[in-house]
Amino acid sequence: MTSSNTSGSTIHPYTREMAMIHQVFRRESRLLVELVQDVRPADTARSRILAEHWRLYSIGLHAHHTGEDEMLWPVLLPHLDLDAEQVLAMEAQHRELTEGIAEVQGLMDRWQAQALPGCCGSFSDSGSTAARPTGSAVGARPLDVPSLSGRPPPASSTPRPPAPPTNSSRPSSAKACRRSTSVTADDAPTVHTSS
């Protein structure tokens, strides 16, 4: 997590952005379901646009949750007591939603070609399921990231980001995202921030 300290005051990790990105993912998943429901039968121009929106949404979501699961939680987990259960539940929730994301992608692939109403209804059901937490303990109890991330781990446990590839070997961002791991989850629970 990046911190800023230009005034000499106590350094706090940026957690407001984490709350905002969760709100964005929730809003976009809800709006995408509504937009798909509003597409007229056989309007393939519109269905292709929305299918591409879903694809980009799921790549962003994947990158976000992969970042949480691979970079944030492993650093915080050794320094937590009771909150560790919550972090482990969130990681499990990310894994559980893999099937929902894959199901929606399959429906979108079929739907974009013909924009048939039957697929639209299936997407709405699957999209609603994939877009919301699965009712686990994490969904019922919001994760308080500022209190978790406000406890700095030892410098030796902070992972270093990989060096960026040179321009000659840089793959497209979509390919790089897909190559790193598969889409693993949808939205995480609400994150509370303190002002």
Does 67 score more than 50 pLDDT? yes
Span 38-49, pLDDT tens digits:
999 999 999 999
pLDDT at 41: 92
User: Residue range 28-54: average pLDDT?
Assistant: 93
Q: How far is CA 5 from CA 8, 10, 11, 12, 160, in A?
A: 6, 7, 6, 8, 20
Q: Which residue has the higher pLDDT, 81 or 148?
A: 81
User: Cα(184)–Cα(105) distance, rounded to whole angstroms?
Assistant: 12
Does 85 score more than 70 pLDDT? yes
Does 174 score more than 90 pLDDT? no
pLDDT at 76: 76
Residues above pLDDT 70, as percent of the chain: 51
Residues above pLDDT 90, as percent of the chain: 16
Does 144 score more than 80 pLDDT? no
Does 143 score more than 80 pLDDT? no
pLDDT at 47: 94
Bridge partner residues of 143 (DSSP): 191
pLDDT at 1: 47
State both tokens at 1.
């997590």
Among 81-90, 96-105, 131-140, 157-166, the least confident range: 131-140
pLDDT at 52: 94
pLDDT at 66: 86
Most confident of 70-74, 98-102, 109-113: 109-113
Span 107-125, pLDDT tens digits:
898 899 898 877 656 665 6
> Which runs of consecutive H residues, i.e. helices, occur in the chain?
16-37, 44-67, 73-76, 84-96, 98-114, 117-130, 137-140, 145-149, 173-180
State both tokens at 189.
């629970």
Q: Which residue has the tokens 């303190």?
A: 194
